[in-house]
Amino acid sequence: MGLIEGIKANNFVVIGRVGMDLYPDPPGVAIEDAQMLEVGMGGSSANIAAGICKLGGKSALVTRVSDDAVGRYCVQQLKNYGVNADHVTPVAGEFRNSTAIYESRVEDHQSVIYRNGAADFQMDIADVEAVDYAKYGALITAGTVFAAEPSRAATFHAFALAKKAGVPIIFDVDYRPYSWPSTQVASDVLSRAAAECDMIVGNDEEFGFMAGSIDKGLAKARELSETSAAIVVYKMGPEGAITFADGAEIRTGIYPVEALKPTGAGDSFMAGFVTSIADGHDLKTAILRGSACASVTVSKAGCAPAMADTQTLETFLAEHSGPTAA
């Protein structure tokens, strides 16, 4: 199955973590000054999966959660968003669910991520072998799954199983330094993963990281589009994006908004991008719709709760100026 054909099935198996997010209320309050905390679902892969469902697609998540109330909260939230949680498995013992506390402010923004003994890193070969990949149009994963074992080996095994089933692989680089034992290990493993994927999405810093320095990032993205991936999206924050596909370079701008926070934009972009392709939009339009989804998310508190549904996205596009020039 080709990449675009797979995406158009609008049914994705997503590998990676689901977590609990906490953020001070009202927006603008620093963590150390918080009197009240809102709670919501987070975790990059879970956000992507939820965003896909909110935009009319189907998704299933494959991961491990802690065998406690926080893990059960995460599973319940997945179900509330419409994400299939059949392959979300509790793990007992001292492993704990990914938890994030972050502020709804841009200036002096602070995020505190609890990843010690992370339950999702315990996803193993048996977990990914339990999935019938042929049921899905494409596999999506975010780079954090590769940061530790047994999750790393399990995800590479999932790649092999997906390829055997003819299912294309979509990779959000999502480099988080705090999760990795060293920058060298991260660079090697993420580069190896990228070489196996049909679509790669990352920002300029992430491609630069894989290439050895940020000034080499654009060349790295171009190289991947010429050697392995059918689509490579090189994101540049407020400068927009450059997308490499079929030998062409598509340059796109963004939809400016007054951001409430910097978190969740990449997950929203991915959800909006793939569901827009599935809905029949051309590649450039799909990129811009993904960018609009990112703008919606950063303008609201929370991650999964802030992500656009179909009506929110269409209203935003109708009422908001943009995009900016590429």
Q: What span, in angstroms and rounded, lies between the C-alpha atoms of 223 and 61?
A: 30
| Dihedral in degrees, nearest 10, Cα atoms 145, 141, 326, 263 | -50
Q: Where are the domains of the chain?
A: 3-319
**Largest pairwise CA distance in the chain:** 53
φ/ψ (deg, to 5) at 307: -70, 145
The reported pLDDT for the residue numbered 266 is 96
Tracing tokens 């988080």 back to the chain, one arrives at: 176
Q: Which two tokens stand for residue 60?
A: 């299933």
Mean pLDDT for each consecutive 10-residue tract of the chain (326 residues)?
95 98 97 98 98 98 98 98 98 96 97 95 98 98 97 98 98 93 94 97 94 92 96 96 96 96 96 98 97 97 97 96 86
Q: Convert the pLDDT of each residue in 228-269 to its tens digit.
A: 999 999 999 999 999 999 999 999 999 999 999 999 999 999
The reported pLDDT for the residue numbered 268 is 98
The reported pLDDT for the residue numbered 255 is 96
The reported pLDDT for the residue numbered 322 is 82
Q: Convert the pLDDT of each residue in 5-45 to its tens digit.
A: 999 999 999 999 999 999 999 999 999 999 999 999 999 99
The reported pLDDT for the residue numbered 16 is 98
Note whether 3 and 168 are within 8 A (CB): yes
The reported pLDDT for the residue numbered 326 is 80
Q: Alpha helix (H) ranges present in the chain? A: 3-8, 44-54, 69-81, 125-129, 151-164, 183-194, 204-211, 217-227, 265-278, 283-298, 310-319
The reported pLDDT for the residue numbered 323 is 94
Is the torsion defined by CA of 143, 113, 238, 260 positive or negative?
Answer: positive
Q: What span, in angstroms and rounded, lies between the C-alpha atoms of 110 and 60?
A: 31
The reported pLDDT for the residue numbered 147 is 97
Q: Which CATH superfamily is domain 3-319 in?
A: Ribokinase (3.40.1190.20)
